[in-house]
Structure 1
């Protein structure tokens, strides 16, 4: 079978009514179930992300409240930039 111009790998004829119209039918039960599954996955992922952010905020707040965090302040801070003239 001879190949048509590039971009015409679909095998359908140009002007074919099945390819030119938009599907206005209601979604099938399979599509609805896939949508529900994906929606539930996104909600679970968002909840995990919120929980992880909350854990980071809690750890950060606990780090700032403990006196152990101040043990490093006894030594002078290293100057990472060279001295200017």
Structure 2
């Protein structure tokens, strides 16, 4: 399955697939205190349901640390980006 970028709509549970919409433009997020975008399985309006355990763990860790995820190794592909509210 292909992956796409999805933007968090800013409300509800960030681990719930239905709270995301597929991005058709490049996001400009980096770090912050809330979820901005995720790179997840899917090519439709919403990512595949449910979000994978890895993506859910990355989302939870990003919310605690305020850092892009995964944060290790430093040059790893990032799957979760944040923004300031």
Bigger RCO (CA 8 Å, 6+ sep): 2
Range of TM-score over shorter length:
under 0.3
TM-score when normalising by structure 2: 0.23
More helix by share: 1
More strand by share: 2
TM-score when normalising by structure 1: 0.23
Larger radius of gyration: 1
